[in-house]
Amino acid sequence: MTIKFNVIAEDNSTCARLGKLRIGRNELETPVFMPVGTQATVKGLTPEEVLETGGRIILVNAYHLYLRPGSELIREAGGLHRFMNWPGSILTDSGGFQVFSLAQLNKVNDSGLVFQSHIDGSYHEFTPEKAIQVQMDLGADIIMAFDQCTGFGVNYEEAREALRRTTRWAERCLQAHTREDQALFGIVQGNFYPDLRERSLKELVDMDFPGYALGGLSVGEPREEMQKILSVFGPKLPVDKPRYLMGVGTPEDLLEGMSRGIDMFDCVFPTRTGRTGSLFTRQGRINIRNSRFKNDFSSLEEKCNCGVCTGYTKAYLHHLFRQKEILGMRLATYHNLFFLSQLMAEARQAIGRWDFAKYKNEFLAEYQ
C-alpha cells in the first residue's frame, strides 16, 4: 500500500483529529492544506519555496495537464515529480470538477463526459478509464476517482442521476487502476441532498477506498449550505481513512472543516487571491494595493516569520503591486501559503492538547 494513515489524537470537544499520513517515503501531519499547482507549478514559486512555506503535498490538475502538455509527455518525463522537480507528495484530481467548472460540457452519459477544452474548444471524452489512465501517466501519489459534479440548485432527480453515475464510475475507476504506488480516493457526491449524500457514502464505503473526499461542495452555494453537509458527513466518513474536503481553503472554512473531522484540504484561494494583492493577516485579509499602505513602512504581519514579513515593508509590497511587478505576486503567494501552513500547524498543536475549540474561537475572534 502506498499510503498509511494513523489518527494519533482526537480533540475532546470537536471532531478534529491529528493524524500521520505516510505517502511513499514522505510523512506528513494532518490536518494538512495542499497548495494548488494547476499546471504543474504553484504559480510563481519554485518547489523549494513551496517547501519553505510548509507545503508537503500539492494538488495538480489532471484536466489541465491532459490538455497541455499532455499526460503522455509527463509520463515520458518520468512522471510529475520529476517533470516539475517537486520532492514532496502530489495528489491529482480526476478532471471531473474541471469539466464541470471550466470546460464546455457537451454530453453526459453512462459511458463518460464529452467536453470542449477551455483553451481551444477542441472535443475530448473522459471516461472513468481514461481519467485513471491520465492519472496513472501523471504518476501522482494520490489520485481521485472520476465523478460527475453538479452545481448548487440542481434538482433532486438530476443530482440522483449524477450520484448513480458517480458510484458506477467509482467501480470502474477501481477496476482500471493498476498502479500499486498510487492510492485512489473515492469522492462522495449527492449535491446538497442529505439522503443522496448518505447513499453515496454507503456505496463508496462498500468499495473500501484508502481515502474519501467530500466533493461537490464549495461550488457557489451559501456558506450555511456547505456547513450543513459538512457537519453531518465530515464525521461520518470512515474514521480510519484520510478525509479530504475538496476546494476549501479560507481560514474560516479550514477551521470549520477540521472541527468536522477533515484531514486534507486544497484550494486556489490563498494563491489566486494573493496574486490580486489580497494578503492574510491575523486581523483578516488586507488588499495591499489600497493607498493607505503607500507609506506604511511596517511589516505585513508582525507575528509572521516568513521571508516576506521579515524582509519587506507594506510600502514596498504596495509599490510592487501598483507597478504590476511579478515579484509582488510571488511574495504575496509565498506569504499566504506560509500563513495557512502556520494556521494548520497551530491547529494541529491545539488538537494535540485537546484545545482546538478554544484555538479556533480565538483565531476567528481576531481574524474577523
> Are 79 and 92 in contact, with CB atoms under 8 Å apart?
no
- Annotated catalytic residue, options 11, 93, 141, 253: 93
Residue found under cell 493607505: 292
Of 69, 79, 151, 238, which lies in the binding site for a copy of itself, with binding defined by CB under 8 A?
69
Among 172, 177, 330, 335, binds a copy of itself (CB under 8 A): 330
Of the candidate residues 85, 104, 298, 305, the single one contacting a copy of itself (CB under 8 A):
85
**CB contact at 8 A, 207 and 174:** yes
* Dihedral (CA of 79, 83, 89, 92) sign: negative
Residue 313 binds a copy of itself (CB under 8 A): yes
Task: List, in order, residues 6 or more apart from 323 with CB less than 8 Å away.
Answer: none
Binding segment (CB under 8 A) for a copy of itself, from list 28-36, 139-147, 262-270, 319-327:
319-327
Contact yes or no for 89/57 (Cβ under 8 A): yes
Question: Is 11 labeled as catalytic in the residue annotation?
Answer: no
Q: Which is nearer to a copy of itself, 40 or 58 (CB)?
A: 40
Q: Going by DSSP bridges, is the β-strand pair 3-10/17-23 parallel, antiparallel, or unpaired?
A: antiparallel
Q: Confirm or reject binding of residue 297 to a copy of itself (CB under 8 A).
A: yes
Active-site residue, selected from the candidate residues 195, 206, 266, 355 = 266
Closest approach, Cβ 272 to a copy of itself, in A, equals 13
Which residue's CB is nearer to a copy of itself, number 1 or number 326? Answer: 326
The distance in angstroms from the start CA to the end CA of the chain is: 42
Q: Which is nearer to a copy of itself, 166 or 333 (CB)?
A: 333
Our answer to whether residue 93 is catalytic in this structure is: yes
Contact between 76 and a copy of itself per CB under 8 A: yes
Site string for a copy of itself, 31-60 (x = CB under 8 A): --------xxx-xxxxx-------------
Site of grid cell 453537509: 229
Examine residue 87 and tell whether it contacts a copy of itself (CB under 8 A).
Answer: no
Coil, strand or helix: which one is 152?
Answer: coil
For residue 349, give the C-alpha cell: 498543536
| Alpha helices, DSSP H, located in the chain | 47-52, 62-67, 71-76, 80-84, 96-101, 128-138, 156-176, 194-206, 223-236, 251-259, 269-275, 307-311, 314-322, 326-352, 356-367
Residue 325 contacts a copy of itself per CB under 8 A: yes
Provide the annotated active-site residues.
Answer: 93, 266
Note the residues at the interface with a copy of itself (CB under 8 A): 39-41, 43-47, 68-69, 73, 76-78, 83-85, 294-295, 297, 307, 311-313, 315-316, 318-320, 322-323, 325-327, 329-331
